[in-house]
Every structure is written in structure tokens, then in C-alpha cells.
Amino acid sequence: MTDTLRITGIECQGHHGVFEFERREGQLFVIDLELGLDTRPAAASDDLVDTVDYGALVQAVKRAVETDPVDLIETLADRLAKVCCLDGRVEWARVTVHKPDAPIDATFDDVALTITRRREERP
């Protein structure tokens, strides 16, 4: 059985992008996470040690966005999925990276990429 833990709207400042000014100036990235896990052990024990500590996870995700710039949001999303899957209780992670200030010469609301990775797919 898999339950879903969802954390949305994690705001991070990152320096990712293919253009030099994106790397230099940085921009807002917004991250949404969905994790598949069995929450029954935590429900039975009412103890944080029996589930994913989402406070610690958010801090790890923020660190992963705010360091080590990459060119593509595909690379960033994959990195974040790997961070989520470090906890052995996570069966799968769905990560959405929003880049609302992407350098596009048009009016738009958002650029977003969503990926899903299973724990077994980690190298």
C-alpha cells in the first residue's frame, strides 16, 4: 500500500540556466514534491522516526536547489528526486520544478517540469 505525502510551493533561489545572466543573477525556483510511502507504521506509533521528516526533507531540497548550478531543470529535477529517495521508506517521488521567471520572450505564467522516479531507479 502506498500513501502520498505532498509538499508544494517550496521557494528557493537558484542560479540554474543555460544563460550566463541566469547563473550570475539567479532566480526563483518553486518546488512541489509528492512522495509515495506507507504511513501505517507512523500512524500506529505516532512517532516521527517512523515516517519521512518533511521538515528535514524540505531543507535538503532547498540546499540541493541553492547549490551547484546546472544548465537544465531536467537535471535539477532528477537531483531532487534522488534527494527524496534517499529515505528508504520512499517508494517513489514526483518532483515538479517551476521556473516562473524563465527567460522567454513572451507573456507566460510558468514553466514547469514534473518527473516521477521510483526508488529502484537510483544509481
What pLDDT shows up at residue 38? 96
* Rounded alpha-carbon distances, angstroms, from residue 4 to 16, 32, 59: 29, 13, 19
Domain boundaries, the chain: 3-88+96-102
What pLDDT shows up at residue 119? 85
Q: Convert the pLDDT of each residue in 19-29 to its tens digit.
A: 999 999 999 99
Positions in the chain short of pLDDT 50? 122-123
What pLDDT shows up at residue 122? 45
Specify whether 99 is catalytic.
Answer: yes
Residue of 98, 99, 117, 119 with catalytic role: 99
Give the phi and the psi of residue 9 in degrees, each rounded to 5: 75, 30
Distance CA(38)–CA(46), nearest Å, equals: 14
CATH assignment of 3-88+96-102, given 3.30.1130.10, 1.10.287.1770, 3.30.70.100, 3.30.70.1170?
3.30.1130.10
